[in-house]
Amino acid sequence: MLDTKSMRFPINVILVCVRWCVVDPLSYQHLEEMMQERDVFDDHSSIYCWTIRFLPMLENSSSVYKRPVGGSWGMDETYIRIRGVWRYFYRAVWCR
């Protein structure tokens, strides 16, 4: 689990910063300003260290809940007549 005994801030604050680093395209200086608006005064280098420290742990713990991306896809193709002209028609089809 997460070792937070030597941390100055609660784990909730740390995880919010790490989440913002991953989800939103924000710089560490912007995150520092956002946290100062919420009365959490910390340096952007600390947010960087939190990201380096906790992101691999969060990635490993969340990989259990990820759904598979792939599946079985096929190509359906045929010729059809449109306004008297034969056209090649194709589409991607999901197969079970």
C-alpha distances in Å from residue 50, one per residue of 15, 20, 34: 8, 12, 16
pTM: 0.56
Tracing tokens 């190509």 back to the chain, one arrives at 75
Q: What is the dihedral of CA 66, 47, 20, 17, to 10 degrees?
A: 90
Q: How many whole angstroms separate alpha carbon 23 and alpha carbon 4?
A: 23
Instruction: State pLDDT tens for residues 42-83.
Output: 888 888 888 888 888 888 887 788 777 667 777 788 888 889
